[in-house]
Amino acid sequence: MTTPLIECIPNFSEARRPEIIDQIAAAIQSVSEVKLLDRSSDLDHNRTVLTFAGSPAGVEEAAFRAIKTAAELIDLDQHTGAHPRIGATDVCPFVPLGGATMEDCIAIAQRLGQRVGSELGIPVYLYEAAATRPERTNLENIRKGQYEGLKLALNGAEGAEEMEWRKPDFGPGKLPKAGATVIGARNPLIAFNVYLTTDDVGIAKKIAKAVRQSSGGLRYVKGLGLLVDGRAQVSMNLTNFRETPIARVVEFIRREAQRYGVGIHHSELVGLIPQEALVDAAVWYTQLDQFDKEQILESRLFSAQSAAADSAPARLSFPDELAAPTPTPGGGSAGAFAGAMGAGLVAMVAGLTIGKKKYVEVEAEMQAIRVVAENLREELTHAVEDDSVAFETVMGAFKLPKSTDEEKKARAAAIVNATLNAAHIPLHVCEDVVKVMELALKCAQRGNLNAISDSASGFAMSRAAFTAASYNVKINLVSLDDKSLGEKMLEELADLEKEADKLEKELRKAMKERGGI
């Protein structure tokens, strides 16, 4: 059964300090079940949109970590920007993709809203399909007056009636410096901006009023007129591109602009767009009346590849491949695989530490450890195949012809080059797994105590990986006639082994002092 796929597109009130967005992105990427797809920042808006997708549970957890990190780093009292906003994480929508339903996203929005309100002390409003009140379906109603207006209302300065209407769905009735967050569920949305050939923002505002649905314009279009980079901009959200396609919106704006003697300078996307929306625009502008989407080359190739993958025989598991009576995969691949498992355990322990009140002082460190461990796991996983390919290359070099002196010379050179490469790959594995050992030690020293044995297991897997990989470095280098070619590699390996020994002593100390074993 296919795992449901959910997309999340949170908007953060920050773009001018990229180091802050880096930390928010790292918080998202610390959840292994999600993939960060896009990062889009606008300096004038002072706003960043991050797009990620994954399993329902993974996306829900990643969204919470992102909101928490943003609340710690962004102060709305100090924030300025062209775009309306009420919070550090201004809006956080969930979109159903493959195998998911709108009901799934509504449930996520409700659970996340309750958690953000109770654990982080941030007022939460539900919107779109998750809205609890009809007037909160539209985001612009919730953002009325922006952060400053909401702050006055919740503090009672705007009167009891306004305060009651502004009462959040979850969280406190007072506004912290992180502001409030709007969480919801919706269909795919396209953030689309059109720049005009003028700096008169008044014209942009008139066109935005004409095009948006709330003022009698096109259905499923929300729009504002802004001044961005010294140019008038019609900033829009297209909430249903199938009913109101992009081409229709562009031509509407083009006609409205002509009324004021201006034109369209260029347009831009913020974040991602469904391929279907661009295909529909291309078909409309090129008037391909008989067009079939199967005529797209990439679509046809994807269909063919999917069909081939479905009909391909199932691949053996890696342990089964190791047990097969074939030269590859062998000990070098097994070492890399063990290292990848070690890195995976480190990432797991870091993940189990993140978000726990008891370990709040080391949360930033654990977020960084998780990101680095995941990168190392990916590298070591690739090394599993690389080691096999390198050995097969050596065997291929030995099979080269050697009838003439020239052929013998070429064969000898190929054997040396292939052998050096076959030694270099496990040496790189040794470098990676020493890094994993260092991360495992930090997790054992400061990570979740309930998972300290997992930290030690990750270290043990990495140490085993080092031993296996080092044997493969040495066996390849000893086969060379010219031993001097491998001297530098052996020196590097010796240094790495000393570091591994040192880390192992520190791990044993941590396990005794902190784990009692």
Length of the chain: 517
Look at the block and give the residue holding tokens 């702050």.
151
Strand partners, 231: 228
The answer to whether 29 and 78 have CB atoms below 8 angstroms apart is no
The total of other beta-carbon atoms located within 10 Å of residue 386's CB is 22
Q: Name the residues annotated as catalytic.
A: 83, 387
- Give the span between the Cα atoms of 243 and 235, in whole angstroms: 19
- Kindly state the percentage of the chain with pLDDT values over 70: 95
What pLDDT tens digit does each residue of the chain (517 aa) get?
467 899 999 999 999 999 999 999 999 999 988 999 989 898 888 999 999 999 999 999 999 999 999 999 999 999 999 889 999 999 999 999 878 899 999 999 999 999 999 999 999 999 999 999 888 988 889 998 999 999 988 876 655 566 677 899 999 989 999 999 999 999 888 989 999 999 999 999 999 999 999 999 999 999 999 999 899 999 999 988 989 999 999 999 999 999 999 999 999 998 778 888 999 999 999 999 888 887 888 777 777 666 665 555 555 688 888 888 888 899 999 999 999 999 999 999 999 999 888 999 998 899 889 989 998 999 999 999 889 888 888 888 888 889 999 888 989 988 998 899 899 999 999 999 999 999 999 999 999 999 999 999 999 999 999 999 999 999 999 999 999 999 999 999 999 999 999 999 999 999 999 999 9
- Residues 421-457: pLDDT tens digits? 899 999 999 999 999 999 999 999 999 999 999 999 9
Task: Name the burial class of residue 230, with classes exposed (0-12), middle (13-18) and buried (19+) by CB atoms within 10 angstroms of its CB.
Answer: exposed
Q: Which domains does the chain have, with CATH numbers?
A: 6-185 (3.30.990.10), 190-292 (3.30.70.670), 320-513 (1.20.120.680)
DSSP 315-353: PPPHHHHHHSSSSSS-HHHHHHHHHHHHHHHHHHHHHHH
Nearest residue to 271 (alpha-carbon basis) of 342, 341, 328, 192: 192
For 210, the 3-state DSSP assignment is helix
The pTM for the full model equals: 0.53
The answer to whether 367 and 27 have CB atoms below 8 angstroms apart is yes
CA 142 to chain centre: 28
Nearest residue to 179 (alpha-carbon basis) of 65, 78, 263, 302: 78
Burial code of 193-217, b = ≥16 C-beta within 10 A, e = fewer?
A: bbbbebeebebbbbbbbbbbeeeeb
For 221, the 3-state DSSP assignment is strand
Task: Name the burial class of residue 313, with classes exposed (0-12), middle (13-18) and buried (19+) by CB atoms within 10 angstroms of its CB.
Answer: exposed
Look at the block and give the residue holding tokens 């002072």.
46
Q: According to the model, what pLDDT value does residue 98 have?
A: 77
Q: Residue 287 is which amino acid?
A: Q
The answer to whether 440 and 353 have CB atoms below 8 angstroms apart is no
Q: According to the model, what pLDDT value does residue 1 have?
A: 47
HSE at residue 60, side-chain half, CA atoms within 13 A, is 19
465 backbone dihedrals φ, ψ, rounded to 5°? -60, -40
Instruction: List CB contacts of 195: < 8 A, sequence separation 6 or more.
Output: 228, 231, 232, 233, 264, 265, 266, 267, 268
Q: For the chain, what is the radius of gyration of the CA atoms?
A: 29
CA 64 to chain centre: 14
Q: Residue 82 is which amino acid?
A: A
- Residues 296-341: pLDDT tens digits? 887 777 776 666 655 555 556 888 888 888 888 999 999 999 999 9
The total of other beta-carbon atoms located within 10 Å of residue 327's CB is 11
Look at the block and give the residue holding tokens 């539209």.
138
Q: According to the model, what pLDDT value does residue 319 have?
A: 87
Q: Residue 310 is which amino acid?
A: D
Q: Residue 18 is which amino acid?
A: P
8 backbone dihedrals φ, ψ, rounded to 5°? -130, 135
- Give the span between the Cα atoms of 436 and 340, in whole angstroms: 9
- Give the span between the Cα atoms of 346 and 334, in whole angstroms: 19
Residue 450 token pair: 């309930």
